[in-house]
Each structure stands twice: as structure tokens, then as C-alpha cells.
């Protein structure tokens, strides 16, 4: 029993590591994306008919109908305030928890019509990373405590927790496929869903139109197996950071094909996967900047800009991404797939030289 406990403790406190620069850059990416593509959320429920109110178990189930628009606008403005503080890294642990709580509160009303979207990871990421130290660089908190070595990976139990939640969520999706016959060679579930999505839901795409004409039962069966094994494989992949990174890279490519075939954009998942990216290698210039304490003026300018973007979205009634036609969700999915292919290529191709990796500090 003690050996098992020691192994579990070793996984929680030593299996995952990240540099403060990696986490800080991801914190800024998360907050900026949420301000542009998420805020405002659920404002539409103010005009929804009372007959649409069919909440799942949760806080909304205690109410008798949708809340007034002013209440939801106030919640969105509170979310804007928190996301701005998260972007500049002010009191980051507390603000991270508050961001997830407020976002979940808003999403509760968005889901009150009975339709639950696949964006729970977007809601949980600030909560899961609240204790990760993602506010220790490029932040107001760094002005008080001083930044640590920004490129030195340190063990992170919070990142392990994020890996556990992400991995089990993906495994749950795969387990449902296992239980509903996706591996039955007599059926082609991917093809069946594509037909329903294209003909019934009207979400046809250029690729799906061509794919429906394929008479390739082996290819469709391979797609069933690939999707099921990828998702269920997360339960094993989360045991090691390198395995998890490989699974996430494959998932990013998988989400790209889901978008191209089904016109379903899992941008929230791809954004969540970014917590495990070594951003210091992807953006070395910004990583070097993480070693310097940001000026008070730069932080104030960033905070005011973030609040202006968020408030503008609330006033318009839709995220600025939609208002300006930026298509950030699709760009994020494409960028994630490109990054996934690049990571897999580095893993598969032989390295010409071995790079010295910095030692990992204990949590």
C-alpha cells in the first residue's frame, strides 16, 4: 500500500513540469482569447421563450426561468474585469479561481435550455492552474515577488491535475464510443454520423460532400477505431508528460478533421491543450521577456486594453471575434493541428544533436 501511495505521490508532484515562462505565456493567451472569442456569453437567453427553460441539474434548476438580461450583462462585465486581471497577472491564484466560478455561473444559464456544449475545459482551466504559478512571470505578481528563472522547468501538481481532468474527459468520450459499438466491424459509426450531420443538421462542408461519395468501408472502419483508441488512450497517456503531449498533438490533428468533415469547432479543447505547450521554445523572444519584470505602465496599458475589448463585446452583444469576422476559433484549431504535426515530426524524426535540458526543480 505504501508503495502504491508513493507512486501516486510521485506522479502528482513529479510527473509534470513547466517553466514559469511557458505558463505565463499561456495565461496571456487564454485571457486574450476569452476576451475576444468568449465574452459575452449567454446574453441571448434574455429573449428566449419560457418554454425553452429546461436546465440540467445545477444552480439554474433552482430557478423558474431565465434571468433578466441586465443580470447576465453584469455577470459578463464581472468576467471581463477578472479576465483583464488574469491577463496582467494580478493576484493570479485568487483571480483564477474567481474566473472559473463566474464563467461556470454564466455557462449554467447558457445551458439552461438543455443543450450542453463541449467547452467545460475552457471553464475549468483557470481553476486547475490557479496553483500552477502561471502568474509568476510577465505579471503584476512578479513585480512584488520577483520572477523566478523563467526557463527552468519546475514540477507542477496543478499541471498534473489539469492532465488528469483533460485525460479523463477524453477517455469518457472514448468509453461512450466503446459502449455504443464503434468498434463493431459491421457498422461504420463515423460515416453514419457524417450522413446525419450533413443531411439532417445541414452542416455540410466541402470535404464531407466528397467523403460521402467514398465507397471505402475499410477507411470508415479505420476512422471509427482511430477516434475510439485515441480518446480511450488518454487514460494511459496521462501517466507521463511525454505520452500526454503526443496524445494531445494527435488530438489537435483529430479536431482539425472534425471541423473539416463535421463543421464542429472544438476550439475550447485545443485552447485547453495549450497548457501543456513549451511556449518558451515556440516563442523564444517572448520567453526572454518573461525574465524581466514588466513595468507598471505596461501592465496598466494591457489591463485597460483588455477591459476595453471585453466591454466592447458586451455592448455589441456578441464576441468581437464574431463582430469583426476574425474566425479565431477556426484559426486556433488550424494552428493547433499545425503545432501537433510539428511536434509529432520532431518526435518521429531522428535528432541530429542532443539538446541539454534544464533540470527540473521540485514543486
- Read off the pLDDT of residues 37-80 as tens digits, 9 standing for 90 and up: 999 999 988 888 888 888 888 888 888 889 998 999 999 999 99
pTM: 0.92
Is the pLDDT assigned to residue 242 strictly greater than 90? yes
337 membership: H or E segment, kind and range: helix 328-348
Inter-residue contact 151 to 358 (CB < 8 Å): yes
Identify the residue with better confidence: 85 or 113. Answer: 85
Is the pLDDT assigned to residue 240 strictly greater than 90? yes
Helix pair 69-88, 20-37: axis angle to 10 deg: 150
Query: What's the Cα-to-Cα distance from 48 to each of 45, 69, 109, rounded to whole Å?
Result: 5, 11, 11
Helix pair 20-37, 328-348: axis angle to 10 deg: 150
Least confidently predicted of 151-155, 158-162, 325-329:
151-155
Quick one: which of 39, 30, 129, 47 has its CA closest to 88? 30
pLDDT for position 47: 80
Is the pLDDT assigned to residue 251 strictly greater than 70? yes
pLDDT for position 310: 97
pLDDT tens, residue by residue, 342-354: 999 998 886 655 4
Confidence grade of residue 239 (pLDDT, cut at 50, 70, 90): very high
Q: What percent of the chain has pLDDT over 70?
A: 95
Scored b (16 or more CB within 10 A) or e, 178-215 reads eeeebeeeeebbbbeebeebbeeeeebbeebeebeeee
Is the pLDDT assigned to residue 357 strictly greater than 50? no
Distance CA 14, CA 72 (A): 41
Highest mean pLDDT, choosing among 6-15, 147-156, 161-170: 161-170
Inter-residue contact 360 to 19 (CB < 8 Å): no
Average pLDDT of the chain? 91
Confidence grade of residue 283 (pLDDT, cut at 50, 70, 90): confident
pLDDT for position 350: 66
pLDDT for position 354: 44
Inter-residue contact 107 to 55 (CB < 8 Å): no
Half-sphere exposure of 317 (CA within 13 A, CB side): 7
Distance CA 238, CA 177 (A): 20
Amino acid at each position: 500500500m505504501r508503495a502504491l501511495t508513493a507512486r501516486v505521490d510521485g506522479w502528482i508532484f513529479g510527473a509534470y513540469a513547466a517553466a514559469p515562462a511557458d505558463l505565463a505565456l499561456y495565461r496571456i493567451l487564454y485571457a486574450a482569447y476569452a476576451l475576444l472569442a468568449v465574452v459575452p456569453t449567454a446574453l441571448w437567453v434574455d429573449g428566449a421563450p419560457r418554454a425553452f427553460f429546461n436546465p440540467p441539474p445545477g444552480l439554474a434548476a433552482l430557478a423558474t426561468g431565465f434571468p433578466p438580461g441586465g443580470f447576465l450583462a453584469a455577470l459578463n462585465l464581472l468576467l471581463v474585469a477578472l479576465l483583464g486581471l488574469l491577463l496582467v497577472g494580478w493576484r493570479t491564484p485568487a483571480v483564477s479561481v474567481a474566473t472559473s466560478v463566474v464563467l461556470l455561473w454564466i455557462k449554467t444559464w447558457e445551458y439552461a435550455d438543455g443543450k450542453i456544449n463541449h467547452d467545460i475545459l475552457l471553464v475549468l482551466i483557470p481553476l486547475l492552474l490557479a496553483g500552477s504559478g502561471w502568474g509568476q512571470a510577465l505579471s503584476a505578481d512578479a513585480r512584488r515577488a520577483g520572477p523566478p528563472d523563467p526557463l527552468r522547468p519546475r514540477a507542477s501538481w496543478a499541471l498534473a491535475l489539469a492532465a488528469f481532468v483533460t485525460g479523463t474527459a477524453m477517455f469518457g468520450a472514448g468509453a461512450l464510443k466503446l459502449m455504443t459499438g464503434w468498434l463493431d466491424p459491421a457498422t461504420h459509426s463515423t460515416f453514419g454520423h457524417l450522413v446525419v450531420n450533413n443531411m439532417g443538421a445541414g452542416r455540410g462542408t466541402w470535404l464531407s460532400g466528397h467523403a460521402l461519395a467514398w465507397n471505402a468501408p475499410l477507411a470508415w472502419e479505420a476512422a471509427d477505431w482511430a477516434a475510439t483508441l485515441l480518446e480511450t488512450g488518454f487514460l494511459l497517456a496521462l501517466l507521463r508528460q511525454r505520452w500526454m503531449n503526443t496524445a494531445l498533438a494527435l488530438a489537435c490533428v483529430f479536431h482539425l478533421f472534425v471541423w473539416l468533415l463535421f463543421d464542429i469547432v472544438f476550439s475550447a479543447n485545443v485552447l485547453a491543450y495549450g497548457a501543456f505547450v513549451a511556449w518558451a521554445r515556440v516563442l523564444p523572444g517572448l520567453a526572454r521577456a518573461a525574465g524581466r519584470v514588466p513595468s507598471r505602465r505596461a501592465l496598466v496599458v494591457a489591463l485597460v486594453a483588455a477591459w476595453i475589448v471585453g466591454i466592447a463585446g458586451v455592448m455589441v452583444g456578441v464576441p468581437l471575434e464574431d463582430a469583426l469576422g476574425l474566425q479565431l476559433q477556426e484559426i486556433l484549431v488550424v494552428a493547433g493541428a499545425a503545432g501537433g504535426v510539428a511536434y509529432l515530426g520532431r518526435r518521429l524524426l531522428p535528432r541530429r544533436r542532443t539538446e541539454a535540458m534544464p533540470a527540473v526543480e521540485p514543486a
